[in-house]
Amino acid sequence: MRLEDNSAPESAPADLAPGAYNAIHTCLRLQPEERVTLITDLETREIAAALVREIEAVGAPHRTFVLEDYAPRPLAFMPKEILDDLERSQVSIFAAQAHQGELPSRIAMTSVINRRRIRHGHMVNIDRQCMVEGMRADFLEVDALSQRLVERARQAKQIRVTSRAGTDLVAEFAPHLKWLKTSGIISPDKWGNLPGGEVFTSPWTVNGRFVCDGVVGDYLCRKYGDLRGTPLTIEVKDARIAGLECENEELLEEFRRYTATDENSDRVGEFAIGTNIAVEDVRGNILQDEKIPGVHIAFGHPYAEHTGQDWVSTTHIDCVAPHEVTVWMDGEAVMRDGQFLI
Domains of the chain and any CATH numbers: 14-132 (3.40.1830.10), 137-340 (no CATH)
Q: Distance (Å, rounded) from C-alpha 49 to C-alpha 70?
A: 19
Average pLDDT value for residue range 251-275 = 98
Torsion of CA 104, 106, 111, 117, to 10 degrees: -170
Name the nearest CA neighbour of 224 among 319, 89, 340, 312.
Answer: 319
Q: How far is CA 218 from CA 100, 228, 318, 319, in A?
A: 8, 18, 7, 10
Residues 283-308 have pLDDT tens digits of 999 999 999 999 999 999 999 999 99
Q: Is the pLDDT of residue 115 over 70?
A: yes
What pLDDT sits at residue 12?
80
Q: Distance (Å, rounded) from C-alpha 316 to C-alpha 258?
A: 9
Residues 186-204 have pLDDT tens digits of 999 889 999 999 999 999 9
Q: Is the pLDDT of residue 5 over 80?
A: no
The backbone torsions φ and ψ at residue 306, rounded to the nearest 5 degrees and listed phi first, read -110, -40
What pLDDT sits at residue 112?
98
Q: Is the pLDDT of residue 9 over 60?
A: no
pLDDT > 90: what percent of the chain? 95
What pLDDT sits at residue 2?
34
Residues 165-190 have pLDDT tens digits of 999 999 999 999 999 999 999 999 88
Opening angle at CA 90, ends 23 and 16, nearest 5: 20
Q: Distance (Å, rounded) from C-alpha 22 to C-alpha 157?
A: 35
Residues 121-168 have pLDDT tens digits of 999 999 999 999 999 999 999 999 999 999 999 999 999 999 999 999
- For the chain, the average pLDDT equals 95
Q: Distance (Å, rounded) from C-alpha 155 to C-alpha 286?
A: 28
Q: Distance (Å, rounded) from C-alpha 27 to C-alpha 306?
A: 20
- Give Cα 320 distance to the centre of its chain: 11
> Is residue 3 very low, low, confident or very high in pLDDT (cuts 50, 70, 90)?
very low
Average pLDDT value for residue range 57-65 = 98
Q: Is the pLDDT of residue 92 over 60?
A: yes
Name the nearest CA neighbour of 121 among 149, 89, 76.
Answer: 89
What pLDDT sits at residue 248?
98
What pLDDT sits at residue 10?
55
Q: pTM for this one?
A: 0.88
